Structure 1
């Protein structure tokens, strides 16, 4: 589904690249909580599509490319500001919000399996 709708691409006056959307930055171990918080915040700003693939990148010759680029850069800025500085530096040169989102998901969401196993072991030991 292509959701490059005017409303999704409209930067609102209450939105700025310097806006901090969530209070706890991604440290790695808190990926699940961070991801959920960011998804809620981006949904509220009508920009969730920039990370979930429903707002697709436009070709540079498209008349709406500049608007798409400005919104993508704003979402990218919000994500970068919600990261631990070391993590932010590792994705700083990515050119799209979805690229950063997918990179972070690939790196940090996989560690949950080992953590779930560890918690289950601890629960079993205490029963």
Structure 2
């Protein structure tokens, strides 16, 4: 009976360990590739979506969304946070084209790296959003079988939806919502 209790406690301890964003798994290493296609400047929307999924799977998404704040150097978690921050930064550096990597490798926090890449490359998302909307309007079933046509249309709608990140209820989130609305109105007026 005592053995059973120890077995029941052990999985909880392991799940607690992996729920801590500072924990690095034995398979986590600097050369780990989380995305198959590197960011080249023209594929930011797709790259960031896949990178966010990879970081979420590794329980490191909080490093890029800014919810993990740097502990003071005297805090016992400071070294663990620094290691994890550096590891996630390396994963991002290794997932971008070399001409982009040189401009981010000296940034101190992974959140700053992420924000820098978003600020630089999400601007091209506006033209991609316009292209997707044009494709949706022009796309016809034609010779496609229904399932192929549906798959193409679903991919376009899903990609279009991916360009609208969930917004936090903060002043910054409200600013981004207003900016998205302004861009949508501009885009819609160009369709008329």
> Is the TM value for this pair above 0.5?
yes
Rounded to whole Å, the distance in 2 between the matches of 1:44 and 1:125 is 36
Matches within 5 A, 1:1-127: 7-118=20-131, 120=133
Rounded to whole Å, the distance in 1 between the matches of 2:31 and 2:82 is 16
Rounded to whole Å, the distance in 1 between the matches of 2:42 and 2:78 is 36
- Say what the alpha-carbon RMSD is for the aligned residues: 2.1
Runs of 5+ unmatched residues, structure 1: none
Q: Which one has a larger percent helix, Structure 1 or Structure 2? A: 2
Report how many aligned residue pairs link the two structures.
123
Runs of 5+ unmatched residues, structure 2: 1-17, 141-192
Structure 1 stretches of at least 4 aligned residues deviating more than 4 Å after TM superposition: 118-127
Higher relative contact order (CA 8 A, sep 6+): 1
Rounded to whole Å, the distance in 2 between the matches of 1:102 and 1:83 is 14
Rounded to whole Å, the distance in 2 between the matches of 1:17 and 1:115 is 32
Distance apart, 1:63 and its partner CA: 1.6
Larger Rg: 2
- Post-superposition CA distance 1:64-101 (Å, at most 9, x none): 10010000000000000000000011111101111100
